Amino acid sequence: MALVLRPEAAVAAQTVMAQRAAFLLVVAAQEEQVVMLAALVAQASSSWSGNTMNIKKIEGHDKRKRRERGWVAIIIHHTGVGGREEISDDLWSKLYKNITNYLARKDKAYVSAHYTISREGEITEVIDPDKYESWHAGKSSSWSRFHRRVVSDWNRYSIGIELIGDGNLKVYSEKQYQALASLCKMLKKKWPSIMDIKGHEEIAPKRKNDPGMLFDWDKLLRYIYVS
């Protein structure tokens, strides 16, 4: 039997064909995106092969029992280098040791952080984020994606990471970015409620300027989200 399409049926058939063509275009575009993404990942991986987490632990003093059930942010800091112009490798490792010990000890300053990262990408856990808040944020106030409102007292909500260096004087080392990205990925996996990765300068903009003008946010976010 010959099939004769009525005019309205022909229009309907054309519409279906157009929809099918549009669908195929979307699929092709998505495939292209996947290929582009794969290429980006390959590019990132080729420049960054190490992803091993080797975290040294020490017992820091300045801490308080965690009050929230989960963390909602990671705050990145720099330690400062006392305005030093020239820093040898030897001095960098001394600074790392001294500053990490300073953040761990009991004193009147009452300042600490959960982690420090050396120029060589070594990570030390000073305060255990499973159990404690650390004293890294100070007076602070900023928008929280998790809460969808401005919150204050970011010590309560965030994990603090200190990079050895001064991001307004010197660029950070590649190993620091790699270690920081690995640490952020691990923490985000552990606490999916972490929705913000911010600089101290963003939660205390009038008081603080770290991790500084030379901190490469593009690089960090690529290492975390693309690779």
> Using CB under 5 A, which of the segments 89-97, 146-154, 178-186, 196-204 binds Zn ion?
196-204
63 binds Zn ion (CB under 5 A): no
Q: Tokens for 127?
A: 């305060």
Largest CA distance in the chain: 95
77 binds Zn ion (CB under 5 A): yes
When the beta carbons of 125 and 162 are compared against Zn ion, the nearer one is 162
Q: Confirm whether 162 is a catalytic residue.
A: yes
166 binds Zn ion (CB under 5 A): no
Distance, CA of 14 to CA of 171 (rounded, Å):
60
The full 3-state SS of 31-47, as one line of letters, equals HHHHHHHHHHHHHHHHH
Q: Which of 43, 51, 39 is nearest to 177 (CA)?
A: 51
Q: Site mask, Zn ion, residues 99-128, x = CB under 5 A?
A: ------------------------------
Contact assessment for residue 81 and residue 87, using Cβ atoms and an 8 Å cutoff: yes
Site for Zn ion in 7-46 (CB under 5 A): none
Distance, CA of 202 to CA of 141 (rounded, Å):
9
Angle in degrees, CA 223, 33, 51, rounded to 5: 20
> Using CB under 5 A, which of the segments 37-45, 58-66, 74-82, 103-111 binds Zn ion?
74-82
The distance of closest approach from Cβ of residue 180 to Zn ion in the complex, given in angstroms and rounded to an integer, is: 14
> Using CB under 5 A, which of the segments 2-10, 96-104, 172-180, 208-216 binds Zn ion?
208-216
Q: Which positions are annotated as active-site residues?
A: 162
Q: Which residues contact Zn ion by CB under 5 A?
A: 77, 200, 210
